[in-house]
Amino acid sequence: MTTDNSKYEKMLTTLIEEAKKNLSKVDEALLIKAFNYSLEAHKDDIRASGEPYIVHPYSVAMIILEEFPVDDITIASALLHDVVEDTDIKIDFIKKEFGKEVAEIVDGVTKISGIFRGQEINKAENYSKFLLSIVKDIRVIFVKFADRLHNMRTLEFVNPDKQRRISLETLEVYAPLAHRFGLGRIKWELEDLAFKYLNREAYEEIARKLQTKRKDREAYIKKFTAPIIEELDKLNIKYEISGRPKHLYSIYLKMIKRNKPFEEIYDLFAVRIIIDSDNPTICYTVYGIINLIYSPIPSRFKDYIAIPKVNNYQSIHMTVYGPEGRRVEVQIRTRKMHEVAEKGFAAHWKYKENRTNIDKELENWVNWIREIFENTTNKDDARKELIENFKLNLYQNEVFVYTPKGDLKRLPVGSTPVDFAFEIHSKIGHHCIGAKVNGKIVPLDTPLKTGDQVEILTSKNHHPNKNWLNFVKTSKAKSEIRKWLNAEEQEIIQKGKEIWERKTKKLKLNFSNEDLMRIIHTHKYDNSRQFFKAIAQGSLNVDEILTAKKTKEEKDKQNDLDFNKFADIARGEVGGILIDGKKSSILYDYAKCCNPIPGDPVIGYITIGEGIKIHRKNCVNLINLSSIDPSKLVAVQWPETDSNLFVAGILIRGNDRPGLVRDISHSIVTYRNTNIRTFNISSNSPIFEGKISLYVQNLEHLNGIIERLKKIKEVTFVERFENEL
């Protein structure tokens, strides 16, 4: 810097003076070097306002001295914060010339600036969290807030599109973030400046109305405070009393929320009384004085001194009816409480933002910061402790990673490249075959870290793996993987079903739904899906099942032959059938639908060409036929035998066990001295099946035997030996 450049000399002199005023220790050489280096680096740069670029880093440094006077390292970093971003100078050079701390702060500010370049503003909350998660030095945030504040103060010099983009970003990212840090004054100024460029008409209307009412408002506040001041002075209480300013954007939000015009927003009258004492009891004295002067509104009283908010905010809030019946909101607090509320980190962010899901870690952090400032007698010690020990790890349950194009994605901690792939698009996830993280190929189950840049490698022939479910974290990834696995399983099930149908068709076998479900449950499957899947995968021998079915059908055919033989014998023993009570030469035959045997109540039905068909009287087919033409019914009966006995057959099944044959035969012969004609039991462990023929007196006799057999343990099925069995 040349000696005749008085303008820059004056800027530097002012900077040094403010630093000495606000900081306990100042390395003048460091600040002079940083100022001169920034001036040289930006010598060819001009701001949109037409001013030399050095005005911007200088203004940022001055804002920091006013709002967060931490140390000279922060001031030097503010002076250099755009050097790496806007020039060819590398961060390593900054580290060499100005030290590690300055380099880290400048690097952090540069990274934050890069985050928002070209990003969608609707993801603002993601970026707020990302910003907090990557910053390891609180001073980076200070510089960035000051940088944004100065840019907003000079936004009038850029084009309207850029004004709107930057204002929207400020309103949705930086203002809420400032609020979380308890930086009330910065938040309000950022909001009002952003509001000005986003809705200039509303901004100017509210500003005009405030200005119009300013004198009236000031006069009213003076009238309201006069009797309070008189009483406080009588008690020699040291205080500061003033009208509390209402910010334009805050007024606008209230108008929108309450759907009321400017004139009806009643709490434009607000007074704050700050007591110059650390004794909170004086606040209650002041509260009592105001209650004696004006009528309080009980529902509008809140004592945050006796019961502080969760973030340790303390103040008395009250609303009273002032002169002319107007409502006036009053806040009473000590100087210490005011500093914490206005400039400290424990701002009342939870109270004002009406958040339903407050981040507990952030809340705890705010309390911790407040304790550092309030419990340390030496402010320099507090600042040192804050700088050396504080780490921002507020969002340990989330990571923020980039696509190769720089798009930001928020994922749960522990998320892997597979989660990232599905977050981008379902198709990318389905065909994911590998991943590069920060340019290096990594396993798909590698946990991602905040700041990672992830590239997904895909193949059209690759699909989700069941093992992915063991390490993915996002519900979207899990859902998509399961969906694909279910679709793949359905293909396997269909393949198994086709195998089953092809083989059953070849063997000319038919299965009813009941038959199929019996087989499924016999082989310990819950449903047909599991059954057909097992067939397709080869874990179930379908040929063995079908061979057994084929054997059973052949056995059933033999049973039919046995029954026909048995029926012929039974019918022969009684001498056939009587038509109208006598033997007749009329052609007759026994109906296959109900297979009547001696002992069954029977009736005949005259057919065309086949003579008379003998049916059981309860035969369904007979009932249907007779309803059509009852004139074709003929009375028939079995002849009476000398012994008055006829032959009946029983089919019996169950689970085999020792002594079962003995129990069956004993149960039969002990019932009315029944005689067994034939007894045939076969066992195919653990199942047995038997056919028994015996002499019975009538159907009552036969049914009694059947009921006795059903009561035998392990017997599961007993029925008359008939064709359909």
Q: Is the pLDDT of residue 274 over 90?
A: yes
Q: Is the pLDDT of residue 282 over 90?
A: yes
pLDDT at 17 over 80: yes
In the block, tokens 């059954």 appear at 531
Helix (H), strand (E), coil (C) string for 153-207: HCHHHCCHHHHHHHHHHHHHHHHHHHHHCCCHHHHHHHHHHHHHHHCHHHHHHHH
Residue 223 has pLDDT above 90, yes or no: yes
- Which segment of 81-85, 98-102, 119-123, 145-149 scores lowest on mean pLDDT? 119-123
For position 11, what pLDDT does the model report?
Answer: 92
- In angstroms, the CA 675 to CA 239 distance is 120
**Residue-level pLDDT at 148:** 93
Q: Would the pLDDT of 60 be above 90?
A: yes
Q: Which residue has the tokens 């606040």?
A: 283
pTM for the whole structure: 0.51
d(CA 20, CA 490): 76
Q: Are 691 and 650 in contact (CB under 8 A)?
A: yes
Tokens representing 470 are: 């063991």
Asked if pLDDT for residue 382 goes beyond 60, the answer is: no
Average pLDDT of the residues of the chain:
79
Marked catalytic residue, from 85, 205, 398, 553: 85
Picking from 413-422, 444-453, 486-495, 518-527, which range would have the lowest pLDDT averaged per residue? 518-527
For residue 433, the model assigns a pLDDT of 92
Residue 565 clears pLDDT 70, i.e. is over it: no
Burial class (CB in 10 A: 0-12, 13-18, 19+), 255: middle
Residue 347 and residue 184 in contact, taking contact as beta carbons nearer than 8 Å: yes
pLDDT at residue 438 is higher than 50: yes
Q: C-alpha distances in angstroms, 268 versus 144, 210, 300, 328, 532?
A: 32, 9, 15, 8, 75
CA distance 417 to 642: 92
Contact yes or no for 706/720 (Cβ under 8 A): yes
Under 8 Å between Cβ of 705 and 608: no
Q: What is the 3-state secondary structure (H, E, C) of 85-108?
A: HHCCCCHHHHHHHHCHHHHHHHHH
Q: Residue 643 carries which DSSP code?
A: S
pLDDT for 645: 67
Contact 244, 256 (CB under 8 A): no
Q: Which of 27, 67, 86, 385 is catalytic?
A: 86
Amino acid at 290: I
pLDDT at 191: 94
d(CA 622, CA 617): 7
CB count, 10 Å around CB of 604?
23
Identify whether the C-beta of residue 130 lies closer than 8 Å to the C-beta of residue 400.
yes
Which pLDDT does position 377 carry in this prediction?
A: 46
Per-range mean pLDDT, top range of 279-288, 335-344, 622-631? 279-288
Q: Which residues of 537-555 are buried (b: 16+ CB within 10 A; e: fewer)?
A: eeebebeebbeebeeeeee
Query: Is residue 722 predicted with pLDDT exceeding 60?
Result: no
**Based on the number of CB atoms within 10 Å of its own CB, is 64 exposed (0-12), middle (13-18) or buried (19 or more)?**
buried
CA distance 403 to 408: 7
Q: To 5 degrees, how large is the angle CA 520–CA 526–CA 531?
A: 50
- List the one residue out of 720, 722, 698, 696 whose CA is nearest residue 709: 720
DSSP helix/strand/coil, 221 = helix
Residue spans of alpha helices (H) in 425-512: 426-430, 475-506
Q: How far is CA 439 from CA 114, 186, 442, 452, in A?
A: 19, 40, 9, 10
Of 585 and 143, more confident: 143
For residue 22, what is the enclosing H or E element? helix 6-22
Cβ neighbors of 460 (< 8 A, separation 6 or more) are 431
Residue 357 pLDDT: 39
Hey, which of 58-62, 127-131, 510-514 has the most confident mean pLDDT? 58-62
Q: Taking the alpha carbons of 68, 73, 75, 81 in that order, is the dihedral positive or negative?
A: negative
Q: Helices 699-710 and 660-669 sit at what angle, rounded to 10 degrees? A: 150
Indicate the helix (H) or strand (E) that contains 612: strand 612-616
Give yes or no: 85 in active site. Answer: yes
Closest CA to 276 of 318, 337, 222: 337
The lowest-confidence range among 17-31, 388-402, 693-707 is 388-402
Confidence of residue 332 (pLDDT cuts 50, 70, 90): very high
- The string of pLDDT tens digits covering residues 522-563 is 777 888 788 888 887 777 777 777 776 666 655 555 555 455
Give the range among 287-291, 430-434, 597-601 with minimum mean pLDDT.
Answer: 597-601
Digit-coded pLDDT (tens) for 137-155: 778 888 989 999 999 999 9
Q: Which tokens in the block code for residue 24?
A: 């306990």
Q: Which residues pair with 271 in a beta bridge?
A: 243, 330
Which DSSP symbol is given to 536? H
Name the more confident of 266 and 301. 301
Residue 147's pLDDT is 93
Over pLDDT 90: what percentage of the chain? 25
Angle, helices 379-389/360-375, rounded to nearest 10 degrees: 150
Average pLDDT for residues 346-365, to the nearest whole number? 40
State the Cα–Cα distance between residues 417 and 327, nearest whole angstrom: 59
Lowest mean pLDDT among 119-133, 499-513, 591-605: 119-133
- Answer yes or no: are the C-beta atoms of 602 and 608 closer than 8 Å: no
115-129, 210-224, 261-275, 279-293, range with the lowest pLDDT: 115-129
Mean pLDDT computed over 183-191:
84
Matching residue, tokens 């040289």: 40
Above 90 in pLDDT, residue 32?
yes
pLDDT value, residue 356: 39
Strand order in the sheet with 646-655: 675-684, 687-696, 646-655, 715-720
122 band by pLDDT with thresholds 50, 70 and 90? very low
Q: Is the pLDDT of residue 297 over 60?
A: yes
CA 564, 568, 569, 573 torsion-angle sign: positive
| pLDDT tens digits along 698-718 | 778 888 999 999 999 888 989
Name the amino acid, one letter, at 361.
E
User: Among 206-215, 560-569, 579-588, 700-709, which stretch is predicted with the lowest mean pLDDT?
Assistant: 560-569
Within 10 angstroms of residue 38's Cβ, the number of other Cβ atoms is 24
Residue 708 contacts by C-beta under 8 Å, 6 or more apart in sequence? 667, 668, 671
- Cβ-based burial of 236 (10 A; exposed 0-12, middle 13-18, buried ≥19): exposed
User: Lowest mean pLDDT: which of 169-183, 218-232, 281-295?
Assistant: 169-183
Q: Is the pLDDT of residue 652 over 50?
A: yes
Q: Please give the structure tokens belonging to residue 559.
A: 């049973």
* 179-193 average pLDDT score: 81
